[in-house]
Structure 1
Amino acid sequence: MSQPTSRPTQLNPQFCFNTRVLRDFLRLSRASIDDSISTNLNALLTPASTSPFNPSSTSIRNPTLPSSLLTRQPIPHQTTRAFLESVLFPSWSSRSEVISYCTSVATSPDPDDPDVIEREAMNRKDADRIIDERLDPYSARFFPKEPRTQQLAALLRNENAVESIVRNRTWGVVAERCQDVEPTWEQAFDKWRESRK
């Protein structure tokens, strides 16, 4: 069974502005838990609970499968709860904390922006430009470089959307395979957060 993803130890603005590292953390966390949710749930069912291996079953080329193998065995509530509370929800919580922290960084002023001087020079240069669209129809084009806080904010908006999609898909698999789970992941996740306070 997978281990929960832990929050990075060095959670600081530089972590957030290094978008490659931020995306890698989120991608790897999703891959280890959410993308392999069926495998993780299958690991919760112990193979010993099914009938033991029978060597005579290999003597027939296409044996009929027992009806117990045709239907998926639901995962018991206690086993599910242990998995959700020890693996899935802590991973979601780590990703939520990182996204929340980086969102606060993206909405704060950035005194250490290395491109601020270059951006101001481009803005002054743009103000001095003479636009004559009769001579050059493309002269009005100007693509100012966004501050890194705006770039980070755009990335985090995308990551929030991805996170919502991934959680909905994961919870769909959990609800299908497990007994007595909440109807939505939001309800289950909020209930788990409340129990930790």
Structure 2
Amino acid sequence: MSVPQTVQELLSPENCVNSSRIRAFLVLSRIATDDTVRTHLNEIDTSKCDIFFTSTIVPEWNARAQAIRYCSDYAQSLRQEIGATVGDIKDVQQKFDLRLNPYASRDYQEQVEQKSAKIETIENWVQNETTVESILKNQTAETFSQKCQYKDWLQYAIDISK
């Protein structure tokens, strides 16, 4: 399965933290496919529903899922990194010679808190976008079932994406 180059260009840690570019891609992709699916299906013969679904809808779903999954994985790796570096308070205090720098422990704690806030921000928008994707996929599948023949379109998308 080939992902459009524009999606690959978006996949970076910076774009996960400042999600405006990825979220703009998600919105534009949804407008081009899911939001206008009823109009597109009215314009094509019902015998071409499968072709439209496999050539237009599923690739966009996969590209959006890849972008969301990339940032979810990035947040998870940051969380594991924090877990590996943050140990017991006693261990943290032993890392620093507070006689040389009495603020070292506090500064370290602030860095950990900032990283945690960054992770939570990423996880929140990822969860929101995952929920939106689920709703849109269900609505699109329902529209396909109404306009074309009934089929488990969501399962069909999974099957052809393997």
Q: If the length of structure 1 is used for normalisation, what is the TM-score?
A: 0.60
Residue 21 of structure 2: aligned partner: 21
Residue 67 of structure 2: aligned partner: 98
Q: Is the 8 A contact 1:15 1:21 kept in 2?
A: yes
The answer to whether structure 1 residue 39 and structure 2 residue 39 are counterparts is: yes
Question: 1:183: Cα distance to partner?
Answer: 2.4
C-alpha distance in structure 1 between counterparts of 2:144 and 2:60, whole Å:
15
Residue 122 of structure 2: aligned partner: 152
Unaligned runs of 5+ in 2: 82-106
Question: 1:105: Cα distance to partner?
Answer: 0.6
The answer to whether structure 1 residue 168 and structure 2 residue 138 are counterparts is: yes
Q: CA RMSD in A?
A: 2.6
Identity %: 29
Question: 1:8: Cα distance to partner?
Answer: 1.6
Q: Is the 8 A contact 2:37 2:140 kept in 1?
A: yes
Cα deviation digits, residues 30-50 of structure 1 (max 9, x gap):
1110000111112213xxxxx
Residue 120 of structure 1: aligned partner: 110
Q: Please identify the structure whose Cα radius of gyration is greater.
A: 1
Residue 91 of structure 2: aligned partner: none
User: Within 5 A, what are the aligned runs for 1:176-187?
Assistant: 176-179=146-149, 181-185=150-154, 187=155
Residue 8 of structure 1: aligned partner: 7
Residue 60 of structure 1: aligned partner: none
C-alpha distance in structure 2 between counterparts of 1:36 and 1:119, whole Å:
48
C-alpha distance in structure 2 between counterparts of 1:17 and 1:28, whole Å:
20
Question: 1:96: Cα distance to partner?
Answer: 0.7
User: Within 5 A, what are the aligned runs for 1:124-135?
Assistant: none
One-letter amino acid of the structure 1 residue matched with residue 37 of structure 2: I
Unaligned runs of 5+ in 1: 46-74, 112-116, 124-143
| Residues 29/118 of structure 1: CA separation in 2 closer, same or farther (3 Å cut) | farther
Cα deviation digits, residues 122-171 of structure 1 (max 9, x gap):
x7xxxxxxxxxxxxxxxxxxxx9952111101110111111000110111
| Residues 88/184 of structure 1: CA separation in 2 closer, same or farther (3 Å cut) | closer
Secondary structure of the corresponding residue to residue 7 of structure 2: coil
C-alpha distance in structure 2 between counterparts of 1:81 and 1:89, whole Å:
10
Q: Is the 8 A contact 2:144 2:153 kept in 1?
A: no
Question: 1:106: Cα distance to partner?
Answer: 1.0
Q: Is the 8 A contact 1:34 1:170 kept in 2?
A: yes
Question: 1:103: Cα distance to partner?
Answer: 0.4
Kindly tell me the number of residue pairs found equivalent between the two proteins. Answer: 132
Cα deviation digits, residues 150-197 of structure 1 (max 9, x gap):
110111011111100011011111110012x52251x11111113xxx
Secondary structure of the corresponding residue to residue 25 of structure 1: helix
C-alpha distance in structure 2 between counterparts of 1:35 and 1:91, whole Å:
12
